[in-house]
Chains A and B, each alone.
Chain A
């Protein structure tokens, strides 16, 4: 039996077409277990992204990770295989837009679709997909996967080990160069005061012989 499910937000509509599970006839609403076609419409842009199950899985995963990246500021790496269709999202440099690109399967004749989304359109996409993910009657195997990244990712974000050690090395090299420079500098000569200047009687106040010492 064909089933259609729709999820809406102000700028985005997700339409899923597929089949229900016939073994649970009394259930209401029916369990949507097989997706045939998934369409994601962007209302202000009059553009839609579409595909099958792989497309839907990729879209939910990539959009989920990107939303968490925006919230935490820590990069969630987008795992994509070159052999199958790919979806990427990245920030457009020097702008407040987010570029969503759908690369279809290399064997198909479809062309890549590029969409520049503002923050509201991106949020609506995230929210539409979240509505789908919490719906336990539609593809229950695709549930929400909001998880924090491990510490390992924070360290990666901080740069490679070589990159992190670089400032320390620069500091040490600077210290060594300064040390060598100081070592090579000539020792300043000490000019002892000459006897002539010491014997210059006019500059000295000689105490008189009659002065008795203070007791």
Chain B
């Protein structure tokens, strides 16, 4: 019992310490929240597509950074990601600021580990454009785009006008995937985490 009492405050303070890396912004209206929830989910989806795998990295990093109290299990993760209004299983719930911060910290942390792959993909994109070749001719780039498209098709609600528009136009969906990838790249920088977090509140304060 005494052990629990001594550990809990440490855990809480470590969590508060890491969340305080990102500044608190005073107000965030409904439009801003919807945008924030959507952006976080899409950026995580882009990272998953780079990983070519599951979202296990989120739990590993959350545990490593002491954020496991916020992202306790898969159900909570799924519920939080379903705050994206484009999702088939949109929950109409609102993400808390500490949860949003945890996602941004985890995204930036994982993106830094994947910097080489992200740079390779963006370099390949640039080369394909310069040579006027289709993206499908580059195996890494086409794998990333296929994976992103597959996630988008399976998770997003095609009844949403914007989602339907992306699903109808493959080029635009590829552009979205590449735009998100370049945003992930910017989150790998020296001040990347702060840049990504602050950008979520642009035009909302």
Interface residues of A (CB under 8 A from B): 67-68, 70-74, 95-96, 118-120, 123, 126-127, 130-131, 133-134, 144, 146-151, 153-154, 157
How far is A130 from B190 in the complex, measured between Cα atoms in Å?
6
Q: Is the CB of B204 within 8 A of A151?
A: yes
- Asked if A72 and B202 make an inter-chain contact with CB atoms under 8 angstroms apart, the answer reads yes
Query: Would you call the interface of chain A mostly helix, strand, loop, or mixed?
Result: helix
Q: Are B186 and A144 in contact (CB under 8 A)?
A: no
Binding site for A on B (CB under 8 A): 25, 119, 122-123, 125-126, 129, 182-183, 185-186, 189-192, 194-196, 198-205
| Across-interface contacts of B205 in A (CB, < 8 A) | 148-151
CB-based contact B126/A123 at 8 Å: no
Give B182's nearest chain A residue, CB to CB. Answer: A119
Of the candidates A73, A144, A151, A154, the one whose C-beta lies within 8 Å of that of B191 is: A144
Q: B190 and A120: CB pair below 8 A? A: no
Q: Measured between alpha carbons, how far is A114 from B189 in the docked complex, in Å?
A: 25
Min C-beta distance of B138 to chain A, whole Å: 15
Given contacts A70-B183, A96-B129, A144-B194, 17 further A-B contacts (CB under 8 A): A68-B195, A68-B199, A71-B183, A72-B202, A72-B203, A96-B125, A119-B122, A119-B126, A123-B185, A123-B189, A126-B189, A131-B190, A146-B194, A147-B198, A148-B25, A151-B204, A151-B205
Indicate if the CB atoms of A153 and B186 lie closer than 8 Å: no
For the complex formed, measure the closest distance between the CB of B29 and the CB atoms of chain A, giving whole angstroms: 8
Taking the nearest CB of chain A, how far is it from the CB of B182, in angstroms?
A: 5
**Chain A residues with CB under 8 A of B189:** 123, 126-127, 130
The smallest C-beta distance from A52 to any residue of chain B, in angstroms, reads 24
Shortest CB-to-CB span from B196 to chain A, Å, is 6
Residue ID in chain B nearest A96 by CB atoms: B129
Which A residues are in CB contact (< 8 Å) with B195?
A: 67-68, 71, 146
Q: Is the CB of B191 within 8 A of A118?
A: no
Q: Can you list 18 residue pairs at the A/B interface with Cβ under 8 Å?
A: A67-B186, A71-B196, A72-B202, A73-B202, A119-B126, A119-B185, A120-B126, A123-B189, A130-B190, A133-B191, A144-B191, A148-B205, A149-B202, A149-B203, A149-B205, A151-B203, A151-B204, A154-B204
- Taking a contact as CB atoms closer than 8 A, the residue among A67, A120, A148, A149 that contacts B123 in the complex is A120
Q: Which residues of B contact A134 (CB under 8 A)?
A: 190-191
Residues of B within 8 A of A120 (CB): 119, 122-123, 126, 185
Most chain A beta-carbon neighbours within 10 Å: one of B126, B192, B199, B202: B202
CA distance A133 to B194 in the complex (A): 13
- B203 with A154: CB separation less than 8 A: yes
Min CB distance B44 to A, Å, is 15
Contact A71 B199 (CB under 8 A): yes
* CB-based nearest A residue for B201: A148
Residues of B within 8 A of A126 (CB): 186, 189
Least distance between B126 CB and chain A CB atoms (Å): 5
